[in-house]
Amino acid sequence: MVVSVQILSVQSVETAPSLLLSTETSRFLFNVGDGTQRLCMEHHVRLAKLQQVFLTELRSHTVGGLPGMVLTVSDTGKPGLHVHGPPSTKKYLKATRHFLYRPDFKLEASEVFPVAIDREKESKSCYEDKEVVVHAVAIVKPRAGAKRKLNESPSSDNEENHVSVSYVVETRTQRGKFLVDKAVALGVPKGKLFGQLHHGKDVTLPDGRVVKSSDCVLPSMPAAACVVVSCPTMAHVDALVSSDGFSRYKEVEGKTAEVQMEKTVYRASAKLQAQLQAVFPCAFPSNQEHEKCDTIEPFSRVVPDGELSAALINNEEKENSIPALSKLVLANVLEDSNVKDLDDDLIDGRITFLGTGCAIPSKYRNVTGMYLELPAGKEGGDSNETWGGMMLDCGEGSLGQMYRYAGGDYKRLQELVDRLKCVWISHNHADHHLGLLRLLSFRADTDTEPLLVIGPTPLQFWLDEYAAQDPTVRGKYIFVENFSFDESDSRSEEVETHAEAARVRALLRDTLNISQIECVPVKHAHQSYAAVVTFVDGSKLAFSGDCRPSDKLAEKAKGAFLIVHEATFEDELTKEAKDKAHCTMAEAIEVGRQANARHLLLTHFSQRYPKMAVLSNTASEVIEEKAPMEVLTAIDMLSLRFRELRQPNLMEVCTQLMQDDDDEGDVDAAASLKAQQEREERKKQKSIERGEQQ
């Protein structure tokens, strides 16, 4: 039997320490931070046999990716998953019921308490099967100047009660190999005597001779152990090293592996970003500073001798050079780069796409999220702040994407987070809000005001129940429900709700130059909304969230300078779009046309389009014949000033760039190329027809 240990990730802004232990029949995952799914997909780490998850702490960096992982695992048809963790793990999993509904998936939990609380479990394992035994060692940060009573459970009222769990995974002793040829040579007849010898019993043959088990069985293979140590603060050290459950593993002779963090965790998307930035430096941030960042200090782990191997996810591919683009396209880019085609009448803001995919993250697309940088209001607010931030949806991994947008500059990331004034969540699906926990926890060590979160009611229940278990999130947000800004909802006219909405509008005006925010109900899941933001100069920006085409949204967003609209499916999948309450590209473009929008940015693409979603013939016809507006399909890390939304060659260059640098597994590249060729042929035909008419 071989047991392997694979380090999925180490500590960084983008990821948190996570480890996968594999046996011949099972997988055991230790901690599931933000981005774990995406990391596994990029590096082809299979989780089909995943049965047990072990949490070392109940914090955003250890559980941020767990709900998304559960949804993905359940969709594969697996019957269930068992989660082991510190006290309140059951409460945490129960809180996910507000958005994680899988009635046929059995999600169970076991909690590990410090020995001082539960001495009866001191010598018991938390999990065992035929291959391994897992022991848990829970410790708690001692209270300053106080002793805990023997029967007093650790509460989560403050950080002093922070319980941390370490795990010891032991393989079972394996019987040595039975040497059949040697047993036969000693005159042992085939049958039950073989079994007795293999199980360590000496046997007596009919002629009176005694054959010892050691004569035909190799020595047993001793058990090996892997210790997963969690010690979140210096205050936990004494409790850990003095723990009875951990003491016998403090001095283990074995191999020591040095592990260093890679400078870039998601290599595929980093490579794509570097290529796009080289062609369009005004539209994509540079990640050169990210690549130059010093790695963290290496950490060591003990790997006992025996059949226990270790592997570190590693991708040594360097950034490839920019593929050769057609001379015609490059000539157009160079020609247009000297032409200033700005919308000078617009507010001086910027929109950055942190994620443009739906449902689950992929190599090239994170799940939905946008960051708006807006000029600070003239009245009120900190006079030293010239701008503030607002997020529209906050999918899992959004903080890591912000770090990438900041070029790996931690101070710049801190500024982006500190100046964030509001996060608006469209609806309660996990891919639109799971990044909130990590974001709120990151603000825990700052003196910033609580973050304004506007979202659906079930999201507030989820945040409040989670915050009751995690003090790094508790008190870090103020929640206001979407319906407070929906004039069609009678609840918005209630005195308290109306007054609260007025206070929020005043805050947004003072800090972000937003004079009005409207939440428009749309057809998707329960309590799904679109947002229409009006700035003090009268200009409008709208975001559809997830929805079917909405006439009401088109009406409310009338004359908007920018509409960001979901376009989950290509036009050939209209039936699937209707069944799942999403839009096709042509439907999204039609909404923009009805609203008479100046610019339309399409996002929230199905992950069946791994890199670039290409406009279909139908969508292109809507643009050419009906809609006098600029249409772009968004890509992760696309960052544009409001005054520079006109990018006539962006889509053409990006499409060709991604096709020239196609990776194995991008199954839709051929279809995208065919669609592009058909579109170009159709343009030529229309030009010929116009010439004949003239």
* Separation in Å, CA 180 to CA 193, 209, 210, 213, 455: 11, 18, 17, 12, 69
**pLDDT at site 151:** 41
Please provide the average confidence, as pLDDT, over all residues in the chain.
81
**pLDDT at site 332:** 55
Residue 311: its H or E element: strand 308-312
Segment 28-33 shows an average pLDDT of 95
**pLDDT at site 260:** 52
Q: Is the pLDDT of residue 480 over 60?
A: yes
- Compare 146 and 303 and report the one with higher pLDDT: 146
Identity of the residue numbered 657: L
- Compare 257 and 200 and report the one with higher pLDDT: 200
**pLDDT at site 438:** 95
Q: pLDDT tens, 121-156?
A: 444 679 999 889 999 989 887 655 444 443 444 444
Q: Between helices 669-693 and 617-625, what is the axis angle to 10°? A: 40
**Angstrom distance (rounded) from CA 113 to CA 111:** 7
The C-alpha angle with vertex 365 and arms to 364 and 366, in degrees rounded to 5, equals 130
Q: Is the pLDDT of residue 580 over 60?
A: yes
Confidence of residue 457 (pLDDT cuts 50, 70, 90): very high
Identity of the residue numbered 509: R
- Compare 350 and 680 and report the one with higher pLDDT: 350
Query: 10 Å Cβ neighbour count for 200?
Result: 13
**pLDDT at site 549:** 98
Confidence of residue 279 (pLDDT cuts 50, 70, 90): confident
Q: Please state which CATH number belongs to domain 4-142+158-174+221-283.
A: 3.60.15.10
Check if 4-142+158-174+221-283 and 349-376+385-662 are the same fold: yes
Q: pLDDT tens, 226-265?
A: 889 888 888 778 777 777 777 666 655 555 555 554 555 7
**Angstrom distance (rounded) from CA 243 to CA 449:** 40
Q: Is the pLDDT of residue 415 over 70?
A: yes
Q: Which residue's structure tokens are 């994407």?
A: 401
**Angstrom distance (rounded) from CA 215 to CA 224:** 25
CATH topology for 349-376+385-662? Metallo-beta-lactamase; Chain A (3.60.15)
Find the range with the poorest average confidence among 91-105, 237-251, 283-297: 283-297
Query: 10 Å Cβ neighbour count for 660?
Result: 13
- Compare 694 and 532 and report the one with higher pLDDT: 532
**pLDDT at site 620:** 64
What DSSP line would sit under 3-61, residue for residue? Answer: EEEEEEE-SSSS---EEEEE-SS-EEEE---TTHHHHHHHTT---TTEEEEE-S-SSHH
**pLDDT at site 521:** 98
Percent of the chain surpassing pLDDT 90: 45
Give Rg (Cα) of the chain. 29
Q: Is the pLDDT of residue 117 over 60?
A: no
**pLDDT at site 252:** 53
First to last CA, the chain: 79
Closest CA to 433 of 508, 545, 592: 545
**pLDDT at site 444:** 84
Closest CA to 30 of 56, 48, 58: 56
Q: Is the pLDDT of residue 85 over 50?
A: yes
**pLDDT at site 679:** 47
Q: pLDDT tens, 291-302?
A: 444 333 333 333
Q: pLDDT tens, 648-670?
A: 778 877 777 776 554 544 433 34
**pLDDT at site 311:** 43
Q: pLDDT tens, 183-196?
A: 888 888 988 888 88
Q: Is the pLDDT of residue 688 over 80?
A: no
- Compare 518 and 283 and report the one with higher pLDDT: 518
Long-range contacts of 449-452 (CB under 8 A, 24+ apart): 450/475, 450/476, 450/477, 450/478, 451/420, 451/421, 451/422, 451/423, 451/476, 451/477, 451/478, 452/421, 452/422, 452/423, 452/477, 452/478, 452/480, 452/504, 452/507
Segment 465-493 shows an average pLDDT of 95
**pLDDT at site 119:** 47
**pLDDT at site 383:** 44
The C-alpha angle with vertex 442 and arms to 438 and 446, in degrees rounded to 5, equals 155
Segment 50-58 shows an average pLDDT of 94
Q: What does the domain layout of the chain look like in residue ranges?
A: 4-142+158-174+221-283, 180-215, 349-376+385-662
Find the range with the poorest average confidence among 104-108, 288-292, 412-416: 288-292
- Compare 209 and 653 and report the one with higher pLDDT: 209
Q: pLDDT tens, 166-187?
A: 998 988 887 788 888 898 888 8
Q: pLDDT tens, 600-609?
A: 999 999 988 8
| Burial category of 488 from C-beta neighbours within 10 Å (exposed 0-12, middle 13-18, buried 19 and up) | exposed
Segment 314-328 shows an average pLDDT of 43
Confidence of residue 622 (pLDDT cuts 50, 70, 90): low
